[in-house]
Amino acid sequence: QVQLVESGGGLVQAGGSLRLSCAASGRYDMGWFRQAPGKDREFVAAITWSARSTYYAESVKGRFAISRDSAKNTVYLRMNSLKSEDTAVYYCAASIWSYCSGIGCRDENQYDKWGQGTQVTVSS
């Protein structure tokens, strides 16, 4: 059974940094999504199982970096220059049954397994 365990959320001041981790029980195409109060869940970043391709939402490009440690089956989301609008619950997700490419990696319907979510709060 595939499991995703997230960690690393917390409270940080605007301009600060956090790193989220998502440990999976296998190697899959992985994505990070977030959901702010009263808003729909939105795509943040994705990385293919080989780490050859990464994808970012325009709102985080240049500030966030997704990476993976294949030996540990762990995906990271490094978040720099955090803004109050980054405040949300962050979810990691795995595409278990298929590979994603291009725009498909940005679609939450691509992902079959979701983590429990971790809260990120950025104070201004």
At 27-53, the pLDDT tens digits run 999 999 999 999 999 999 999 999 999
Closest CA to 119 of 9, 8, 45, 6: 9
Closest CA to 53 of 96, 115, 104, 117: 104
Do residues 22 and 111 lie in contact, with contact meaning Cβ atoms separated by under 8 Å?
no
At 46-98, the pLDDT tens digits run 999 999 999 999 999 999 999 999 999 999 999 999 999 999 999 999 999 98
- Alpha carbons within 13 angstroms on the beta-carbon side of residue 93 total 27
Question: How far apart are the C-alpha atoms of 80 and 56, rounded to whole Å?
Answer: 14
∠ Cα 76 104 56 (to 5°): 40
